[in-house]
Chains A and B, each alone.
Chain A
């Protein structure tokens, strides 16, 4: 083929390549899970864009919670056992594998602890909250939160969530949902049982105390808790 023809073919090819719609190099985005789950971090925060540490908040902290817990919750939203329409909408067309990968990703994240204002609860109610969390109430058959959620309340592997760093409104809403039967877990649903044994005043005391307790710098969940646990939990079954 004569050279001028080749040259014009090359030129034509270059022109076609630069035609509108195909012209500019394709824009890429990082091939990271962080990029893929930007839909989650816009509410739950990421290291580069942590949620606001002050002011009213509702969305729970998910960074650093045990992967088993997060995976159970994603599945619960998808199956309608937990009801928060936006979360069901987010999860309903995602696979078990992808949800597990997302749960594992967030379990390894560390976000700065929120700055907490002490709850404006009277001292006696705060004390009642501290008592329920740390010792429980034998008369009500309510075990101490620390018995399952860890002595430092940072949760326990593989599937028990930490309770610190959560907004008070979020904690109250969960107790309300358990009592109203709109939040479920795999049976036996231990938290629904406990929520049913607490008065609203006790719920307010517990949430007030938990939400005003600082999250430790090292917020890793405990490797395990003492067994047998006070109640059987379908989400964190006793190992045989």
Chain B
């Protein structure tokens, strides 16, 4: 009996290994249209530069204060720390020795030359949707950068996540290469938006919940970014960052300038707007808006909001003293020459999500929306962490979550304390 169990277990393991080996490296090859597709022509390079902005490659492939695209930024994950590599065309430390096909395999199949499997912190689950023509333009542009000799830092992943065989198993479960397939019934704008959001834009990297193995699903249902401590709101839920009831022009304005009449970007999204979205054309930002507005609405959870009277009273006093000058006693924000200066808090989904982390951190950290071409001199918010204690922050956050028609669960001092010490970087 015992022998049969052992044999069956052994067979199962062998079958699993065979499956992984068969699926290795799970690649799909599409050839370039012609060598002209990745030739160093001004048109290819300009298109590649634009696409690199749309993909925000810089965000990960540049360390703070470092040379753009020379890598080195640490990406903390629950499985260990990954260091984004140098993607400048240096022959020794960058990707100078890569061919256009090599680059395609990285973007589309998540593999490096020689077949090494790449970690999905590089969002190839999204970039696999990028067309070969766009990949070739990106390649042409990357080749045009000045090579920077900067050695890559080795990843620091915990066992067993540092094993290629484990990664192969992960890919078997969660990765299938495939270029974006347009849906003819949906129209050009919708398809362009879907291509950008699901592909290069890799919005799901933050805006989708991750499971225990770090995999996202295609829906943009929101999730806590585990290591940075920001909640990336659901883009399909009206009570979070769902956009179905926004004017399309306001969505474009938010993506391209960082501020809009109904809200402003903050935290990691400020970086995305600053380095990526502000450079999109109106047409592309509009296409993204069309697609995002079409997401099927997630059912809105009704939370029974009840805030203790004494907390609301303290919150109201603190709000009047610290917040009302800018956001208004009526929570409607303020504008300047018709443009958004301070966002409204009434009806602002960023404050009333079930998880209050963002509202707490905005009060603790303050900050500026990004200085963009459309909003070059943004209005900033003071950090209140030096001025208010945990109970006071909890009271004022509870107050803004439950005033002017807003309704959300009250916040407690220990919740505030949890986010006070989270690193800002």
Q: Find chain A residues with CB under 8 A from B334 CB.
A: 26-29
Query: Which listed residue, B270, B332, B370, B380, touches A39 by the CB 8 Å rule?
Result: B380
Q: For chain B residues 297-336, which have a beta carbon within 8 Å of chain A?
A: 326, 328, 330, 332-336
Residue from B328, B377, B386, B423 having most chain A Cβ neighbours under 10 A: B377
Q: Is the CB of A27 within 8 A of B365?
A: no
Complex CA gap A93/B382 in Å reads 15
**Structural contact, B326 and A90, CB atoms closer than 8 A:** no
A86–B365 contact, CB under 8 A? yes
Choose from A31, A38, A79, A80 the contact partner of B380 (Cβ within 8 Å). Answer: A38
Contact in complex: A29, B341 (CB < 8 Å): yes
- From known contacts A92-B271, A98-B377, infer whether A39 and B64 are also in contact, taking CB-CB under 8 Å: no
In Å, the complex CA distance between A159 and B386 comes to 29
Residues of chain B lying within 8 A (CB to CB) of residue A81: 65
Q: A177: which B residues are within 8 A, CB to CB?
A: none
A interface majority secondary structure: helix
Is A42 among interface residues, defined by CB-CB distance under 8 A?
yes
Q: Which of A67-113 contact B (CB under 8 A)?
A: 78-81, 85-86, 88-90, 92-95, 97-98, 101
Question: Once bound together, how far apart are the Cα atoms of A93 and B326, in whole Å?
Answer: 21
Chain B residues lying within 8 Å of A38, measured Cβ to Cβ, are 326, 379-382
Whether the Cβ atoms of B382 and A39 lie closer than 8 Å is yes
Q: Which one, B333, B370, B383, B425, contacts A93 given CB within 8 A?
A: B370
Task: State whether the Cβ of A119 lies closer than 8 Å to any Cβ in chain B.
Answer: no
Instruction: Report if B409 contacts A (CB, 8 A).
Output: no
A85 x B387 contact (CB < 8 A)? no
**Cα of A155 to Cα of B371 in the assembled complex, Å:** 30
> In chain B, residues 352-380, which have Cβ atoms closer than 8 Å to a Cβ of chain A?
365-371, 376-380
Minimum distance in angstroms from A37 CB to a CB of chain B: 6
Inter-chain contact A90/B368, CB cutoff 8 Å:
yes
**B211 smallest CB distance to A (angstroms):** 30
Q: With contacts A26-B335, A81-B65, A92-B271 known, is A36 near B379, CB below 8 A?
A: yes
Contacts of A20-60 to chain B: CB distance below 8 A: 24, 26-29, 31, 33, 35-43
Q: How far is the CA of A89 from the CA of B268 in the complex (A)?
A: 11
B335 touches A28 (CB 8 A): yes
B5 on the interface (CB 8 Å rule)? no
The number of residues on chain B lying at the interface, defined by a beta carbon within 8 Å of a beta carbon of chain A, is 38
A80 contacts B337, CB within 8 Å? Answer: no
Contact: A40 with B380, CB < 8 Å?
yes
Give, as a whole number of angstroms, the nearest-CB distance from A39 to chain B.
3
Classify chain A's interface size: 20 to 34
B424 interfacial contact with A, CB 8 Å: yes
Q: Which of B333, B342, B371 is within 8 Å of A94, CB to CB?
A: B371
For B370, what are the chain A residues with a Cβ–Cβ distance below 8 Å? 93-94
B274 on the A face (CB < 8 A): yes
Q: Is A98 in contact with B376, judged by CB distance below 8 angstroms?
A: yes
Contact A85:B425 (CB < 8 A) given known A29-B334, A79-B65? yes
Q: Is A93 a contact of B271 with CB atoms below 8 Å?
A: yes
Chain B positions within 8 Å of A33 at CB level: 377
A84, B333: Cα distance in complex, Å = 30
Q: Please name all residues of chain B whose beta carbon is closer than 8 Å to the beta carbon of A36 when the two chains form the complex.
A: 377-380
Given known contacts A26-B335, A90-B366, is B380 in contact with A37 (CB within 8 Å)? yes
Residues on A with beta carbons closer than 8 Å to the beta carbon of B417:
none
Q: Which residues of B contact A95 (CB under 8 A)?
A: 371, 376
A79 touches B371 (CB 8 A): no
Contacts of B378 in A (CB 8 A): 36, 94, 98
User: Are B64 and A80 in contact, CB atoms less than 8 angstroms apart?
Assistant: yes
Interface residues of B in 379-396 (CB under 8 A from A): 379-383, 385-387
Q: In the bound complex, do residue B376 and residue A86 qualify as a contact, i.e. CB atoms below 8 Å apart?
A: no
Contact at A39–B336, with CB atoms within 8 Å? no
Contacts of A80 in B (CB 8 A): 64-65, 425
Q: Are A29 and B342 in contact (CB under 8 A)?
A: yes
Q: Which residue of B lies closest to A59 (CB)?
A: B386
Contacts of B270 in A (CB 8 A): 93
B53 CB to nearest chain A CB (Å): 15
Residues on A with C-beta less than 8 A from B382 are: 38-39, 41-43
Are A31 and B337 in contact (CB-based, < 8 A)?
Answer: yes
- Complex contacts, A78 vs chain B, CB 8 Å: 65
CA distance A24 to B332 in the complex (A): 10
A205 to B377, CA, bound (A): 42
User: How far, in whole Å, are A29 and B337 apart by their CA atoms in the complex?
Assistant: 9
- Is the beta-carbon distance between B365 and A42 smaller than 8 angstroms? no
**10 closest A-B pairs by CB:** A39-B380, A79-B65, A42-B382, A93-B370, A80-B64, A85-B424, A95-B371, A89-B424, A93-B274, A80-B65
Further pairs besides A28-B335, A93-B371: 18, Cβ < 8 Å: A27-B333, A27-B334, A28-B334, A29-B341, A39-B382, A41-B382, A42-B383, A42-B387, A80-B425, A85-B423, A85-B424, A86-B365, A88-B64, A88-B424, A90-B383, A93-B370, A94-B370, A98-B378
21 residue pairs of the A-B complex, CB under 8 angstroms, read A26-B335, A26-B338, A27-B333, A29-B341, A29-B342, A31-B336, A38-B326, A38-B381, A39-B381, A39-B383, A42-B383, A85-B424, A88-B64, A89-B383, A89-B424, A92-B64, A93-B370, A94-B368, A94-B371, A98-B371, A101-B377
Binding site for A on B (CB under 8 A): 64-65, 270-271, 274, 326, 328, 330, 332-338, 341-342, 365-371, 376-383, 385-387, 423-425
